[in-house]
């Protein structure tokens, strides 16, 4: 992340500029030691690297510019929040999840230590005045997924304009009805913020923008499983992290360009991996910007991540929103349908996720699955037992890794991952 010419902007946003420079330095080193060390990367990746580097600089400057034109910024923490509804009211959605270990101690000053690092990192950035998104947003949208998030929203809502969506934890008709109401209630709150009403043709247009983004990411998912594997899992993760930060039309165009380059690499037999690399699916918790730990460990231990059954993977783009309806009510209903299909581990029962994991593993022809669990994420951790059982039906072995954002356990994890990869046929 660049510090060029941005210090004045950060000062004006009220950030602790010195500490913020330390955060950027820390994240930069993490990036260079993982993503930056790879060889034979697609050329188009330069764009996505730059999205990450500019996430506290150029992107913030862009958002400030949008604000000066009257647009408001809406932050969110989970992929259940429908970005198209935010965009349809001329508001700008931005993901606020933290992937750096640097900010964790700042959250631990206030919150219990035994909650997930993603939550602590996100809150730590805000508490330590090193998150430039915190001061520019006009509204934050949380959801009732896991307990850590649910209770943290209560604390945040005392300080910032906050909207909480109640996510049902089952997927029956009554749950869809509740979720549909929640989508409508979010839409009403956003209408108040934007001081305008949703217009069906604008909503449809924004749904198309998001659907095109999803289609481009689906194309990428199909290409990354080809032989020879044309792109690393780490690079695909960088693309996914950029997806949650970048302007969607520009982003989609760049993903299509990347896909064109990958098709060419496949034709020419260009791959960042040797033929011996073991094809792996990562399943479980998301790896948000600043966190490249598990993909880097797998791919520097002889594996190639070809599928991500995570929210920084397939869950973000697998389903499109139906655009048949011509009125706001019908389109919001289609959005509710689409978003309830995301298979987060907070659902019970969650057989759809088990089926999805099996079919993704088969489609990707993976030799093994690494279940990536962030420490204290009880739902993914416990559900790992059922995922392991489901994969066993297809004779696909899995390894469960429970870890945080720190570097302390990397040597031990590497030993476990190497041993797991060696057992794969
Ligand atoms: S894992 Fe669950 S709570 Fe986390 S971003 Fe995904 S859907 Fe949201
Ligand atoms: S990784 Fe798990 S515990 Fe952490 S925020 Fe997501 S669902 Fe909650």
Query: Rounded to the nearest 10 degrees, what angle do helices 233-243 and 200-224 cross at?
Result: 170
Cα atoms in the 13 Å half-sphere on the side-chain side of 201: 0
According to the model, what pLDDT value does residue 4 have? 57
According to the model, what pLDDT value does residue 52 have? 98
Q: Which residues, 6 or more positions from 414, have their beta carbon under 8 angstroms from its beta carbon?
A: 297, 300, 301
Residue 201 Cα to ligand 1 middle (Å)? 29
Calculate what percentage of the chain has a pLDDT beyond 90.
98
Please name the residue whose Cα sits nearest to atom 2 of ligand 1.
344
Q: Over 60: is that where the pLDDT of 16 sits?
A: yes
298 lines ligand 1 (CB under 6 A): no
CA distance 419 to 250: 42
User: Which residues form ligand 2's pocket by a CB distance below 6 Å?
Assistant: 116, 118-119, 145-146, 148-149, 285, 374, 377, 380
77 lines ligand 1 (CB under 6 A): no
Residue 118 Cα to ligand 2 middle (Å)? 7
User: b vs e for 321-333, b when ≥16 Cβ sit within 10 Å of the residue's Cβ?
Assistant: beeebeebeebbb
- Which atom of ligand 1 lies at the shortest distance from residue 77's CA? 5
Ligand nearest to the backbone CA of 144: 1
Residue 146 Cα to ligand 1 middle (Å)? 8
Instruction: Assess contact for 280 and 306: CB atoms under 8 A.
Output: yes
CA distance 111 to 153: 12
Q: Which residues, 6 or more positions from 136, have their beta carbon under 8 angstroms from its beta carbon?
A: 13, 60, 63, 64, 67, 73
Q: And the tokens for 366?
A: 């993976």
- pLDDT, tens digit (0-9, with 9 covering 90-100), for 131-171: 999 999 999 999 999 999 999 999 999 989 999 999 999 99
Residue 401 Cα to ligand 2 middle (Å)? 15
CA distance 366 to 221: 14
Q: Over 50: is that where the pLDDT of 2 sits?
A: no
According to the model, what pLDDT value does residue 202 have? 98
Instruction: Assess contact for 246 and 59: CB atoms under 8 A.
Output: yes
- In eight-state DSSP terms, residue 399 is E
pTM summary value: 0.97
Pairing label, strands 92-95, 162-165 = unpaired
Calculate what percentage of the chain has a pLDDT beyond 70.
99
Please name the residue whose Cα sits nearest to atom 3 of ligand 1.
145
Q: Over 80: is that where the pLDDT of 258 sits?
A: yes
Neighbours of 51 (CB within 10 A): 23
- Which atom of ligand 1 lies at the shortest distance from residue 311's CA? 6
Which region holds residue 12: left if phi is over 0, alpha if psi is between -120 and 50, else beta?
A: alpha
Which residue, 315, 309, 293, is CA-closest to 401? 293
- pLDDT, tens digit (0-9, with 9 covering 90-100), for 179-228: 999 999 999 999 999 999 999 999 999 999 999 999 999 999 999 999 99
Instruction: Assess contact for 53 and 34: CB atoms under 8 A.
Output: no
According to the model, what pLDDT value does residue 413 have? 98
In the chain, the N- to C-terminal Cα span, in Å, equals: 40
342 lines ligand 1 (CB under 6 A): yes
Angle of CA points 217, 342, 283, to nearest 5° = 70
Query: Residue 385 burial (CB < 10 Å; 0-12/13-18/19+)?
Result: exposed
| Average pLDDT over the chain, rounded to an integer | 97
Please name the residue whose Cα sits nearest to atom 6 of ligand 1.
311
Instruction: Assess contact for 76 and 156: CB atoms under 8 A.
Output: no
Instruction: Assess contact for 195 and 90: CB atoms under 8 A.
Output: no
Q: Which residue out of 98, 121, 148, 345 has the highest number of ligand 2 atoms within 8 Å of its CB and is therefore the one to mutate?
A: 148
Q: Which residues, 6 or more positions from 112, have their beta carbon under 8 angstroms from its beta carbon?
A: none
Q: Which residue out of 76, 121, 142, 286 has the highest number of ligand 1 atoms within 8 Å of its CB and is therefore the one to mutate?
A: 286
286 lines ligand 1 (CB under 6 A): yes
pLDDT band at 5 (very low <50, low <70, confident <90, very high): confident
Q: And the tokens for 50?
A: 């730059």
Query: Rounded to the nearest 10 degrees, what angle do helices 45-53 and 248-268 cross at?
Result: 140
Q: And the tokens for 309?
A: 């059954």
pLDDT band at 1 (very low <50, low <70, confident <90, very high): very low
Bridge partners of residue 228, in order along the sequence: none
């Amino acid at each position: 992340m660049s510090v060029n010419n941005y210090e004045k902007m950060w000062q004006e946003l009220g950030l602790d500029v010195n500490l913020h420079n330390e955060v950027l330095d820390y994240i930069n080193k993490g990036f260079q030691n993982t993503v930056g060390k790879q060889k034979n990367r697609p050329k188009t990746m330069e764009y996505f690297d730059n999205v990450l580097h500019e996430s506290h600089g150029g992107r913030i400057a862009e958002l400030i510019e949008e604000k000066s034109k009257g647009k408001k910024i809406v932050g969110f923490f989970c992929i259940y929040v429908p970005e198209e509804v935010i965009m349809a009211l001329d508001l700008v959605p931005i993901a606020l999840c933290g992937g750096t270990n640097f900010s964790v101690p700042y959250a631990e000053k206030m919150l219990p230590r035994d909650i997930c690092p993603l939550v602590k990192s996100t809150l730590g950035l805000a508490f330590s005045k090193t998150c430039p998104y915190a001061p520019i947003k006009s509204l934050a949208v949380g959801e009732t997924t896991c307990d850590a998030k649910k209770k943290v929203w209560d604390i945040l809502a005392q300080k910032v304009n906050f909207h909480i969506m109640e996510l049902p934890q089952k997927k029956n008709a009554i749950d869809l009805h509740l979720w549909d109401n929640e989508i409508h209630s979010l839409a009403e709150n956003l209408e108040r913020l934007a001081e305008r009403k949703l217009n069906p043709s604008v909503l449809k247009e924004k749904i198309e923008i998001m659907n095109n983004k999803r289609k481009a990411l689906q194309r990428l998912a199909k290409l990354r499983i080809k032989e020879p594997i044309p792109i690393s899992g780490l690079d695909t993760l960088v693309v996914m992290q950029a997806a949650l930060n970048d302007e969607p039309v520009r982003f989609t165009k760049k993903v299509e360009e990347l896909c064109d380059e990958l098709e060419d690499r496949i034709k020419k037999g260009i791959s960042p991996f040797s033929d011996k690399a073991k094809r792996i699916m990562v399943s479980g918790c998301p790896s948000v910007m600043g966190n490249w730990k598990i993909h880097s460990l797998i791919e520097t231990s002889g594996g190639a991540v070809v599928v991500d059954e995570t929210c920084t993977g397939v869950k973000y783009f697998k389903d499109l929103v139906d655009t048949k309806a011509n009125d706001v009510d019908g389109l919001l209903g289609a959005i509710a349908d689409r978003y309830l299909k995301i298979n987060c581990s907070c659902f019970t029962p969650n057989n759809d996720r088990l089926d999805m994991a099996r079919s993704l593993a088969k489609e990707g022809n993976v030799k093994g699955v690494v279940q990536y669990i962030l420490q204290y994420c009880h739902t993914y951790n416990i559900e790992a037992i059922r995922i392991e059982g489901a994969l066993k039906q297809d004779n696909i072995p899995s390894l469960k890794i429970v870890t945080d954002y720190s570097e302390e356990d990397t040597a031990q994890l590497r030993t476990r991952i190497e041993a797991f990869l060696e057992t794969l046929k």
